[in-house]
């Protein structure tokens, strides 16, 4: 069994690395052939063309595209993403400043999605086709269909502009430095209310829909009737028999969703002005900061790989018979 698990890990990692490499290469060529020149923002029109050429040389932009790609591959193998054009420091140092927030922010949203989705699904499955079940099902479809940028802007309009009960952007107040420790924590929580709701709502709908459907399918099996006939309570049936059979498909969805969250809640961070990977990536693309774009892409890809790999291992933990299917 250990040998098969190692084979599965090797296959998953190898496949993911190939996909990640192709993605990074695609982004490299796409950025290089797109219109625009990142060196122009460092050069005044009044200065000589020689200075512009020197700056382009410093960015290695005067060499051929193939030459740039070769150097890019060599640097990538060495773990060197280069120096950010905008921040003038190594890309890794820039990412280290922005990545922790995204990890914490995404983890909070992920836990809320799982908890609320589970809770709603468990309540609904006990009252299938009841008023609560039908209401939540329709609301979940609406929540999933609303684009995150529409939801975020709407929440800002209602709760920040009209009601003025929560801040519209940022991570803390301007005078947060003078707050006590607990006041600072409270200030952070208040600033994160709207972003967390925006990021979590569609995920809650996804988990609720998947888990409700799986629970309903398992409940229709004959063994559930047999368990009831033998005197098992509904709580025991759900906890010991229904959930273990319904949770496997949800784990795959959770792995993908967590990877997306970790890779940068792009739209949410931009709308609310949060210092995370999503906002960093957008700013890097807009400023044509090539090394930083590639660095953000690599980190995001690695996080997606790790989250999906973790989901596979958890599924195997629940059902070891899945190993052969994953190896084929």
Q: Is residue 190 part of a domain?
A: yes
Q: pLDDT tens across 87-104, in order?
A: 888 889 999 999 888 888
Phi-psi category of residue 79: left, alpha or beta, with phi > 0 → left and psi -120 to 50 → alpha: left
pLDDT score of 222: 75
Q: Which residues of 165-176 are buried (b: 16+ CB within 10 A; e: fewer)?
A: ebbbeebebeee
Q: Is residue 151 part of a domain?
A: yes
Instruction: Show the tokens assigned to 46.
Output: 């009044």
pLDDT score of 154: 92
- What separation in angstroms does the CA of 218 have from each of 51, 126, 129, 241, 284? 70, 13, 16, 9, 47
Distance, in Å, from the CA atom of 156 to the CA atom of 154, rounded to the nearest integer, reads 5
Residues 6+ apart with CB under 8 A from 143: 201, 202, 204, 205
Distance, in Å, from the CA atom of 93 to the CA atom of 76, rounded to the nearest integer, reads 16
The pTM score is: 0.80
Distance, in Å, from the CA atom of 148 to the CA atom of 205, rounded to the nearest integer, reads 13
Q: Is residue 35 part of a domain?
A: no
Q: Is residue 310 part of a domain?
A: yes
pLDDT score of 40: 64
Q: Is residue 24 part of a domain?
A: no
Q: Is residue 121 part of a domain?
A: yes
* Regions of the chain with pLDDT less than 50: none
Q: Is residue 169 part of a domain?
A: yes
CATH number of the domain residue 138 falls in: 1.10.3720.10
Q: What domain range includes position 203?
A: 98-319
Q: pLDDT tens across 263-321, in order?
A: 657 788 888 888 888 889 888 888 888 888 888 888 888 888 888 777 777 777 666 55
pLDDT score of 318: 62
pLDDT score of 79: 77
pLDDT score of 323: 55
DSSP conformational letter for 242? I
Q: Is residue 90 part of a domain?
A: no
Please tell me the total count of domains within the chain: 1
Burial of 163 (0-12, 13-18, 19+ CB in 10 A): exposed
pLDDT score of 94: 92
Please state at what angle helix 91-125 crosses helix 277-286, rounded to 10 degrees.
130
């Amino acid at each position: 069994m250990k040998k098969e698990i190692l084979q599965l890990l090797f296959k998953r990692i190898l496949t993911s690395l190939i996909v990640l490499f192709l993605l990074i290469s695609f982004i490299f060529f796409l950025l290089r052939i797109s219109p625009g020149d990142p060196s122009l923002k460092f050069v005044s029109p009044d200065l000589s063309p020689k200075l512009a050429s020197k700056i382009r040389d410093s960015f290695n932009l005067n060499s051929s595209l193939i030459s740039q790609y070769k150097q890019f591959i060599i640097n990538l193998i060495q773990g060197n993403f280069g120096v950010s054009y905008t921040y003038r420091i190594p890309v890794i140092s820039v990412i280290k400043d922005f990545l922790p927030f995204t990890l914490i922010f995404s983890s909070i949203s992920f836990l809320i999605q799982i908890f609320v989705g589970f809770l709603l699904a468990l309540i609904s499955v006990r009252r299938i086709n009841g008023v609560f079940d039908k209401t939540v099902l329709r609301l979940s479809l609406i929540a999933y269909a609303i684009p995150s940028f529409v939801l975020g802007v709407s929440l800002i309009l209602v709760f920040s502009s009209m009601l003025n009960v929560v801040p519209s952007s940022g991570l803390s107040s301007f005078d947060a430095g003078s707050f006590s420790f607990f006041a600072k924590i409270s200030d952070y929580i208040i600033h994160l209310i709207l972003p967390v709701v925006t990021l979590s709502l569609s995920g809650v709908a996804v988990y609720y829909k998947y888990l409700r459907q799986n629970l309903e399918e398992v409940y229709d099996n004959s063994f559930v009737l047999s368990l009831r006939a033998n005197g098992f309570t509904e709580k025991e049936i759900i906890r010991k028999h229904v959930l273990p059979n319904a949770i496997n498909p949800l784990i795959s969805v959770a792995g993908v969703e967590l990877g997306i969250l970790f890779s940068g809640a792009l739209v949410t961070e931009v709308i609310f002005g949060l210092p995370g990977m999503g906002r960093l990536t957008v700013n890097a693309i807009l400023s044509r900061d090539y090394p930083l774009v590639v660095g953000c892409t690599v980190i995001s890809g690695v996080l997606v790989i790790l989250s999906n790999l973790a989901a596979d291992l958890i599924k195997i933990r629940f059902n070891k018979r899945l190993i052969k299917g994953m190896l084929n």
